[in-house]
Structure 1
Amino acid sequence: MDRTKELTNFVESELAKGRKSNIKPDDDLLSEGIIDSLGILQLVSFIEEKFNIQVDDEDVVLENFQSIASLNNFLSAK
């Protein structure tokens, strides 16, 4: 499974919890209320465990967690 699909599946199943399904890569996760600050922490934990990528405190910024696409771009740069 590709990384975009894995991120989308995690957000839909663990963070959106019925608020939204069929999340698109460019959907704004924060402004649409799909994730909040706790969701970002859960997402960081998932990324570190699933992809073995260290997410530093300075990496936890809006630009990196705004959408699945921005997350994927951030992870590609790591």
Structure 2
Amino acid sequence: MTKNTHAILLEYIQSEIISNEITSKIATSDDLLSTGIIDSLSIMRLIAFIEERFDQKVPPQDLVIENFISIDAMATYILQNPPSPK
């Protein structure tokens, strides 16, 4: 599922957050904030997407930059946290 999770996140970032000129240059390990690919508002959009797409609630204590700095970090966070109970 890791590769699938990476692909889902990358596709969302490419289609909803950034322009097509940048997309071919994104590596899953890139620091998306320091490179200017995303900003704080984009992180909030990504969190909303993660909550909806992966059926997870991101609690306030998990809203730290380390969990959302790269596609690798987001995929790791998603895989280490089970979906929210229904």
CA deviation vs aligned residue, 1:7-55 (integer Å, no higher than 9, x gap):
0011111112246112211011000111111101100110011110111
Q: Does 1:11 align with 2:13?
A: yes
Tell me how many residue pairs correspond in the alignment.
Answer: 78
Gap runs ≥5 in structure 1: none
Q: TM-score, normalised to structure 1's length?
A: 0.90
Moved over 6 A (4+): none
- 1:76 alignment partner, one of 57, 60, 79: 79
Please provide the CA RMSD for this pair.
1.5
Gap runs ≥5 in structure 2: 82-86
Q: TM-score, normalised to structure 2's length?
A: 0.83
Shift of 1:64: 0.5
Distance 1:65 1:19 in 2: 22
From the CA coordinates, give the structure whose radius of gyration is larger. 2
Shift of 1:57: 1.5
Distance 1:68 1:37 in 2: 15
Structure 2 match to 1:34: 37
User: Contact 1:19–1:34 at 8 Å: present in 2 too?
Assistant: no
